[in-house]
Amino acid sequence: MAVLAGAVVLVLGGCGASRPSENAGPGAPAIEGSEVTGRTVGGSDGDTTDRSVGAGTPAEPSEEPAGSQSSEEESPASSAPATAAPSTAPPPEEPAENPPEERPASDPSGDEEDVDPEFEVRLDELIAFVEQERGHEFVTRPVVDRYVGAEFVAAYDAILERDAVEYREDWQDGTDLYRALGVIDGSRSLESIFTSFADAGVLGFYDSESGRIVLRGDELDPMVETTLVHELVHALDDQIFDIDRPEYDDRDDEIAWAFSALLEGNATEIENRFRAGFTPSQIEAERQARRELSRGTSLSSFSDSFIDLQFSRYLHGFDLVSELWDDGRAAVDDALVDPPGTSEEVIDAELYLSGAGPDPNPVLPVADGEVFADGVFGQVAWKAILLDAVDFDTATRAAAGWGGDWYVAWRTGDRACVRVHVAADTPDDLDELANALERWVSAGADRSVFYPTADLIRVTACG
Q: What is the 3-state secondary structure (H, E, C) of 99-158?
A: CCCCCCCCCCCCCHHHCCHHHHHHHHHHHHHHHHHHCCCCCCCCEEEEECCHHHHHHHHH
The secondary element (H helix, E strand) that includes residue 422 is strand 415-424
Task: Give the 3-state secondary structure of residue 369.
Answer: coil
What is the per-residue pLDDT for 257?
94
Partners of 145 in the β-ladder: 214
What is the per-residue pLDDT for 76?
28
Percent over 90 (pLDDT), the chain: 57
Mean pLDDT of 348-362: 86
Residue 432 backbone phi and psi in degrees, to 5: -65, -45
Q: What angle do CA 36, 200, 301 make, to 5 degrees?
A: 110
More confident site: 197 or 67: 197
Of the listed ranges 195-204, 360-369, 449-458, the least confidently predicted one is 195-204
Q: At residue 232, does pLDDT exceed 60?
A: yes
Q: How far apart are the first and last CA of the chain?
A: 30
Residue 313 to residue 443: CA distance in whole angstroms: 26
Q: At residue 54, does pLDDT exceed 50?
A: no
Q: At residue 90, does pLDDT exceed 90?
A: no
- The DSSP call for residue 58 is P
Partners of 415 in the β-ladder: 412
- Of the candidates 314, 202, 211, the one whose C-alpha atom is nearest the C-alpha of residue 257 is 314
Partners of 449 in the β-ladder: 459
Q: At residue 420, does pLDDT exceed 60?
A: yes
What is the per-residue pLDDT for 177?
94
443 near 400, Cβ under 8 Å? no
Q: At residue 335, does pLDDT exceed 90?
A: yes
Partners of 460 in the β-ladder: 419, 448
Residue 42 confidence class, pLDDT cut points 50, 70, 90 = very low
More confident site: 386 or 96: 386
Q: Dump pLDDT digits (tens) for 243-273.
A: 999 899 889 899 999 999 999 999 999 999 9
More confident site: 355 or 442: 442
Residue 296 confidence class, pLDDT cut points 50, 70, 90 = low
pTM given for the model: 0.79
More confident site: 239 or 36: 239
Q: At residue 114, does pLDDT exceed 90?
A: no
Residue 355 confidence class, pLDDT cut points 50, 70, 90 = confident
Q: At residue 73, does pLDDT exceed 80?
A: no
More confident site: 371 or 7: 371
What is the per-residue pLDDT for 240?
97
Q: At residue 23, does pLDDT exceed 60?
A: no
Residue 15 confidence class, pLDDT cut points 50, 70, 90 = very low
Residue 153 to residue 39: CA distance in whole angstroms: 14
Residue 25 backbone phi and psi in degrees, to 5: -110, -145
What is the per-residue pLDDT for 241?
97
- Of the candidates 31, 2, 396, 39, the one whose C-alpha atom is nearest the C-alpha of residue 249 is 31
Helical H segments across 368-426, by residue range = 379-386, 392-400
Residue 115 to residue 97: CA distance in whole angstroms: 15
What is the per-residue pLDDT for 52?
30
Average pLDDT, the chain: 79
Residue 347 confidence class, pLDDT cut points 50, 70, 90 = very high
CA dihedral (363, 365, 370, 372) positive or negative: negative
Q: At residue 150, does pLDDT exceed 80?
A: yes
* CB-side neighbour CA atoms (13 Å) of 34: 28
* CB-side neighbour CA atoms (13 Å) of 317: 34
- Of the candidates 344, 338, 337, 339, the one whose C-alpha atom is nearest the C-alpha of residue 358 is 344
